[in-house]
């Protein structure tokens, strides 16, 4: 990182501190270290932690506040999927002037959430903290001086963090009215992916008819949003990388040339079709892929870097992957940009949260495109809060096509049973595997024993033969 | 320069070679090394070099070709103003399919021409070569397959080099019809400055209403073009650096906040007015100013670097200035761009000459804006080809407000007389200065002599006094 970033970092640190303080103010006993010391739930399903042993709220609180409680996902520390736990928060959150309280229906899962869980995303306040940058829901209460929202309004919410819970309190400027006909799933899938894709393609990228764009992870949330937005402009050629099994879906979605990055050199494939190169490269990968993207640019071409997915090599932080991505990180001199007539941009919505006007403008355009039927979020799958580990694993393993959603809807009894059954089956599976291993070991051991015995017999036989020979010689 | 530029450089080298070959094909005897060995003309006025001693053209050539000759400015080697000489080329240039021959009226002078003269601009083929990227004139002949231009058409011409002469042959794609009411001066002032400013502000910059822009060298050709283009968008705030004497003119031209960079810290001045920073910074300076510009950017801000004027510290190449600018050259990592949501772009029209479609589109917009009266090139001054040295000096010393033009119109007798008079006056001035110096030296010498004499007298007196004293003592 270069020296000129120092002031920005200072500012970030300060904001983080403020956020952390706010977090602590609303912290309930359920989040106290006491509950944290309980044994961890199984890795991929977050169990609801009861708060029965917490002290009773102070007497001066209103009765409603006493009984007000809601479930929240909480990142308890950096690490694997099991670090995100489902907890119960108690007490009604305070509502300041200009704020609204939203009863959350659906939440969106983003790549930044995976980075955050590993401690690789500095915009999330330190644990314990509720992650999540977006959700949809219904306004349940409005603070003083709120005139543009009322109880019952259906809204999309975009915030720096804290959206993965049943109740959120945010500034009205962070909420946007849902248009007619939009589902809560779609509303939770829209903000981060579509605003990111929109600002990258149209503000930094200045996308125009007849241009060509490379979209990595084209079956991911941003990938699908970017493809749809490209299609709102005439005759844009979209190159999209994704594994072969997803090609049919992304082709139908608008990708002109799907490329399987696992079996093909995408640079070579693109050069074959577009020898002059590309107008825009969206790069969520970082490391060596940024270099490749830069070299694919035409004159007046724009490389837009918006992540470092190459840093994520598994469930837990891989120091090797981080170091490699960091080491291979792209750096460029202005004189070489001048000679190539090129642009290199960096984008991350998480660092734009204070730019409310800019975000509001972009959201207005995106919502309008939805109204016109030009864009439509594709939902890959919906998980219960309890299943957040499975949801994150699906994204980490790049199994999704489209958006992964978390729903606050409680699991139905049959779902719970099914989930329990799955868990049971998993356990059985694991036991079977264990048993098989033990069995195999036993069989192995028996075989070895038999072999030994046989060898011993052979030895005995040899000894007897020797004895007999010795007798014959004596005779 | 980073490794990924290697292919682009190879291509450039090849193009350069081709251009050089083309140059050599049209080379006339007047450009041969023979004429180069003649003594150099005085530094600031290019004398026409006669070609009386060149061999007669071959007998098979048509009589017209025999007598066809035209004046051309030729860069004979890298260095000071005297390296650009006015020569006479003989023989009609060949006209290939798709090309037109233009009788040049006016030529534009650009900063890149100053860089080129010092050997700091690699898009100009090696000397001897005719510089100049733009001119205006009238079509005198059309090659085969030319259907969109006819003899008599008034055109603007944009080319990689070779425009500073009375006759040019270029592909029709490099010519653009002059709109009604445009003067030849304006037509020569338009292409480089306005296309540069247009592509920077609207393609890389994506300028929108209510944004803020920093324009360095705001009284220069690109500076004035950029200011006018900013004013075509509602409520754009323009910060412009220029010396105080130019502030009135640039304010009238549209600069909201003129800043005298010689007496004020422009970063401080801008922060006072716009604490959040700027949306776009146009940076023709390079070196430490690029760092300052980057740090002034808002989120989603764009820094557009389009030169390294800081490399030019005088008439001749200053290795110190070049090394300093190079050393301080700005380089940036994508991760720090991501955290700041920033864009860094490099632009130079000279490296875009193969992008005919892009240029044509931009030119169409710019010419249309001229027709609507929204832009109008400001001519600073017009020089005869013979005065190219003075013209370059004016730009080098940043004395101009607007475009510096070279006209192919022959100097009138009275102009020649005036020029000769000026030269005479200059010589007289120089002589006077010399005489004064000599005089001063003489006076100095006389004074010294007198002083010495006085001292000698004193010494004599002392000696006499001593003698007298000695006599007294003897007595």
DSSP A333-347: EHHHHHHHT-EEEE-
- B137 exposure class (CB count in 10 Å sphere: 0-12, 13-18, 19+): buried
Q: Are B278 and B296 in contact (CB under 8 A)?
A: yes
State residue A63's pLDDT score: 56
Whether residue B91 is predicted with pLDDT greater than 50 in this model: the reply is yes
Q: Give φ, ψ of A244 to 5 degrees.
A: -55, -35
The pLDDT tens digits of the residues spanning A397-417 come to 989 999 999 999 998 888 788
Q: Are A155 and A177 in contact (CB under 8 A)?
A: yes
The pLDDT tens digits of the residues spanning B141-168 come to 999 999 999 999 999 999 999 999 999 9
Q: Give φ, ψ of B394 to 5 degrees.
A: -60, -40
State residue A261's pLDDT score: 87
Model ipTM value: 0.76
pLDDT confidence tier of residue A422, bands split at 50, 70 and 90: confident
- What fold, for B193-376? Rossmann fold (3.40.50)
Of the given ranges (A31-35, A154-158, A238-242, B84-88), which has the lowest mean pLDDT?
A31-35
Q: Alpha carbon A432 to chain centroid distance?
A: 32
Whether residue A453 is predicted with pLDDT greater than 60 in this model: the reply is yes
State residue B62's pLDDT score: 54
Give the closest residue to A105 by CA, choosing from A157, A171, A160, A48: A157
The pLDDT tens digits of the residues spanning B100-113 come to 999 999 999 998 99
Segment 300-329 of chain B within 8 Å of chain A by CB: 300, 302, 305-308, 326, 329
State residue A20's pLDDT score: 44
Cβ-proximal residues to B229 (8 Å cutoff; 6+ apart), any chain: B194, B197, B198, B201, B202, B207, B369, B375
Q: How many helices (H) and strands (E) does chain A have?
A: 15, 17
Of the given ranges (A369-373, B21-25, B86-90, B319-323), which has the lowest mean pLDDT?
B21-25
Tell me which residue in B331, B332, B341 faces A348 most closely, judged by beta carbons: B341
Q: In A245-371, where does DSSP find H-type helix?
A: 247-253, 266-273, 288-295, 319-327, 334-340, 356-371
Give the closest residue to A162 by CA, choosing from A75, A260, A271, A98: A75
DSSP A392-418: HHHHHTT--SSEEEEE-SPPPHHHHHH
Q: Do domains A69-189 and A193-376 have the same CATH topology?
A: no
List residues bridging with B261 in a β-sheet: none
Q: Does A5 touch chain B (CB under 8 A)?
A: yes
Tell me which residue in B199, B299, B329 faces A334 most closely, judged by beta carbons: B329
Average of per-residue pLDDT across A305-313: 77
DSSP A101-127: EEEEEEEE--HHHHHHHTT--TTSPSS
Segment 269-288 of chain A within 8 Å of chain B by CB: 283, 286
pLDDT confidence tier of residue A430, bands split at 50, 70 and 90: low
Average of per-residue pLDDT across A5-21: 41
Q: How far lies B243's CA from each of A137, A320, B214, B246, in Å?
A: 57, 53, 15, 6
Give the closest residue to B192 by CA, choosing from B119, B100, B112: B112
Cβ-proximal residues to B329 (8 Å cutoff; 6+ apart), any chain: A333, A334, A335, B286, B287, B290, B308
Whether residue A112 is predicted with pLDDT greater than 50 in this model: the reply is yes
pLDDT confidence tier of residue B376, bands split at 50, 70 and 90: very high
Contacts of A4 in chain B (CB under 8 A): 291, 294-295, 336
State how beta strands B69-75 and B343-346 pair. unpaired
> What percentage of chain B has pLDDT greater than the value 90?
59
- In the numeric block, the tokens 């089956």 are attached to A425
- The correct answer on CATH 3.90.180.10 for the domain covering A69-189 is yes
Chosen from A324, A341, A361 to mutate, greatest number of chain B CBs within 10 A: A341
pLDDT confidence tier of residue A263, bands split at 50, 70 and 90: confident
Q: At what angle do helices B266-273 and B288-295 cross, to 10 degrees?
A: 10
Whether residue A95 is predicted with pLDDT greater than 90 in this model: the reply is yes
Q: Does A445 touch chain B (CB under 8 A)?
A: no
Chosen from B6, B294, B341, B359 to mutate, greatest number of chain A CBs within 10 A: B341
Give the closest residue to B255 by CA, choosing from B273, B268, B265, B263: B273
- Cross-chain residue pair B346–A352, CB shorter than 8 Å: no
Report the chain B residue with the minimal C-alpha distance to residue A200: B300
Contacts of A286 in chain B (CB under 8 A): 334-335
Which secondary structure element, helix H or strand E, spans residue B298, and what is its range?
A: strand B297-305
Show the tokens assigned to B71. Answer: 């004046």
Count of Cβ atoms closer than 10 Å to residue B392 Cβ: 23
Q: Give φ, ψ of A162 to 5 degrees.
A: 85, 15
pLDDT confidence tier of residue B330, bands split at 50, 70 and 90: confident
Count of Cβ atoms closer than 10 Å to residue A357 Cβ: 9
The sheet with strand B48-49 has its strands ordered as: B48-49, B84-90, B69-75
Contacts of B330 in chain A (CB under 8 A): 333-334
Segment 177-216 of chain B within 8 Å of chain A by CB: 199, 202-204, 206
- Cross-chain residue pair B305–A337, CB shorter than 8 Å: yes
Whether residue A322 is predicted with pLDDT greater than 80 in this model: the reply is no
State residue A135's pLDDT score: 98
Give the closest residue to A187 by CA, choosing from A257, A252, A134: A134
Q: In A76-180, where does DSSP find H-type helix?
A: 111-117
Tell me which residue in B12, B283, B343 faces A345 most closely, judged by beta carbons: B343
Which secondary structure element, helix H or strand E, spans residue A26, and what is its range?
A: none
- Distance between CA atoms of residues A142 and B230, nearest Å: 42
Count of Cβ atoms closer than 10 Å to residue A350 Cβ: 21
A19/A322: higher pLDDT: A322
Sign of CA dihedral A208, A211, A215, A219: positive
Contacts 24+ apart (CB under 8 A), B414-423: B415/B384, B419/B45, B419/B386, B419/B387, B423/B42, B423/B45
Show the tokens assigned to A367. Answer: 């919502």
Say how many CA atoms lie within 13 Å of A25 toward its Cβ. 11
Whether residue B131 is predicted with pLDDT greater than 60 in this model: the reply is yes
Tell me if the pTM is above 0.90. no
pLDDT confidence tier of residue B391, bands split at 50, 70 and 90: very high
Report the chain A residue with the minimal C-alpha distance to residue B346: A338
Q: Are A411 and A384 in contact (CB under 8 A)?
A: yes
DSSP conformation class of B34 = H
- Average confidence score pLDDT of chain B: 83
- Sorted by where each begins, the domain ranges of chain A are 69-189, 193-376
- Cross-chain residue pair B305–A338, CB shorter than 8 Å: yes
DSSP conformation class of B115 = H
Of the given ranges (A246-260, A396-410, B327-341), which has the lowest mean pLDDT?
B327-341
Q: How many helices (H) and strands (E) does chain B have?
A: 15, 17
Q: How far lies A342's CA from each of A13, A233, A285, A446, B359, in Å?
A: 32, 22, 19, 70, 16
State residue A53's pLDDT score: 38
First to last CA, chain B: 94
- Distance between CA atoms of residues A122 and B464, nearest Å: 96
- Cross-chain residue pair A351–B339, CB shorter than 8 Å: yes
The pLDDT tens digits of the residues spanning B276-326 come to 999 999 999 988 899 999 999 999 999 999 987 777 667 776 777 776 776
- Cross-chain residue pair B199–A339, CB shorter than 8 Å: no
> What percentage of chain A has pLDDT greater than the value 90?
59
State how beta strands B278-283 and B212-215 pair. parallel
A24/B283: higher pLDDT: B283
The pLDDT tens digits of the residues spanning B247-265 come to 999 999 999 999 998 888 9
Contacts of A345 in chain B (CB under 8 A): 302, 337, 342-344
- Distance between CA atoms of residues B21 and B11, nearest Å: 15
- Distance between CA atoms of residues B165 and B23, nearest Å: 13
DSSP B269-294: HHHHH-TT-EEEEEESS-THHHHHHH
pLDDT confidence tier of residue B448, bands split at 50, 70 and 90: confident
Show the tokens assigned to A167. Answer: 């109740």
Instruction: Determine the 3-state secondary structure of A353 from DSSP.
Output: coil
- Average confidence score pLDDT of chain A: 83
The pLDDT tens digits of the residues spanning A117-157 come to 988 888 888 999 999 999 999 999 999 999 999 999 999 99
Whether residue B343 is predicted with pLDDT greater than 70 in this model: the reply is yes
DSSP conformation class of A243 = -
- Distance between CA atoms of residues A54 and A46, nearest Å: 20
State residue B4's pLDDT score: 36
Chosen from A209, A334, A355 to mutate, greatest number of chain B CBs within 10 A: A334
DSSP B209-264: TT-EEEESSTTSHHHHHHHHHHTTSTT-EEEEE--GGGHHHHHHHT-SEEE-TTTS
B10/A268: higher pLDDT: A268
State residue A13's pLDDT score: 42
State residue B424's pLDDT score: 73
Q: Give φ, ψ of A105 to 5 degrees.
A: -100, -55
Chosen from A10, A115, A210, A338 to mutate, greatest number of chain B CBs within 10 A: A338
Q: Are B198 and B349 in contact (CB under 8 A)?
A: no
The pLDDT tens digits of the residues spanning A345-370 come to 999 999 998 899 999 999 999 999 99
- Distance between CA atoms of residues A305 and A294, nearest Å: 10
Q: How far lies B258's CA from each of A83, A377, B223, B251, in Å?
A: 56, 48, 12, 7
Sign of CA dihedral B73, B77, B78, B82: negative
Average of per-residue pLDDT across B375-389: 96
Q: How far lies A137's CA from each of A19, A103, A157, A232, in Å?
A: 22, 5, 8, 28
State residue B400's pLDDT score: 94
């Amino acid at each position: 990182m270069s020296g000129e970033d120092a002031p920005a970092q200072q500012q970030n640190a300060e904001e983080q501190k403020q956020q952390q303080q706010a977090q602590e103010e609303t912290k309930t006993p359920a989040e106290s270290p006491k509950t944290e010391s309980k044994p961890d739930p199984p890795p991929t399903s977050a169990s609801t932690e009861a708060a029965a042993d917490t002290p009773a709220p102070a007497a001066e609180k209103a009765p409603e506040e006493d009984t007000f409680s809601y479930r929240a996902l909480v990142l308890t520390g950096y690490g694997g999927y099991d670090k995100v736990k489902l907890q119960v928060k108690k007490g009604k959150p305070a509502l300041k002037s200009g704020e609204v309280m939203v009863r959350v229906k659906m939440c969106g899962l983003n790549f930044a959430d995976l980075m955050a869980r590993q401690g690789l995303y500095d915009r999330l306040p330190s644990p314990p903290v509720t992650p999540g940058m977006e959700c949809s829901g219904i306004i349940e209460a409005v603070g003083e001086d709120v005139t543009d929202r009322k109880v019952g309004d259906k809204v999309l919410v975009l915030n720096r963090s804290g959206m993965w819970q049943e109740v959120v309190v945010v500034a009205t400027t962070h909420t946007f009215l849902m248009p007619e006909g939009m589902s809560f799933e779609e509303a939770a899938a829209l903000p981060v992916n579509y605003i990111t894709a929109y600002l990258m393609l149209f503000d930094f990228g200045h996308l125009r008819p007849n241009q060509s764009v490379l979209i990595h992870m084209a079956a991911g949330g941003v990938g699908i949003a970017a493809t749809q937005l490209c299609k709102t402009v005439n005759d844009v050629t979209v190159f999209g990388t994704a594994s072969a099994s997803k090609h049919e879906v992304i082709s139908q979605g608008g990708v002109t040339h799907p490329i399987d990055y696992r079996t093909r050199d995408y640079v070579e494939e693109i050069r074959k079709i577009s020898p002059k190169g590309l107008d825009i490269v969206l790069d969520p990968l970082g490391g060596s892929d940024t270099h490749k993207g830069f070299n694919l640019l035409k004159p007046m071409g724009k490389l837009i870097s918006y992540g470092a997915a190459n840093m994520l090599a598994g469930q837990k932080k891989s120091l090797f992957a981080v170091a490699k991505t960091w080491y291979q990180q792209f750096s460029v001199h202005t004189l070489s940009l001048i000679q190539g007539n090129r642009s290199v941009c960096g984008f991350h919505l998480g660092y734009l949260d204070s730019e409310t006007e800019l975000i509001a403008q972009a959201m207005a355009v995106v919502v309008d495109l939805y109204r016109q039927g030009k864009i439509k979020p594709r939902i890959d799958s919906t998980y219960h809060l309890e299943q957040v580990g499975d949801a994150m694993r699906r994204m980490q393993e790049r199994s999704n096509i489209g958006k992964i959603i978390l729903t606050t809807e409680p699991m139905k009894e049959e779902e719970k049973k099914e989930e329990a059954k799955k868990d049971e089956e998993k356990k059985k599976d694991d036991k079977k595997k264990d048993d098989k291993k033990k069995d195999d070991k036993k069989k192995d051991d028996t075989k070895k024993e038999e072999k030994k015995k046989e060898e011993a017999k052979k030895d005995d036989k040899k000894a007897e033969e020797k004895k007999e020979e010795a007798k014959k010689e004596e005779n």
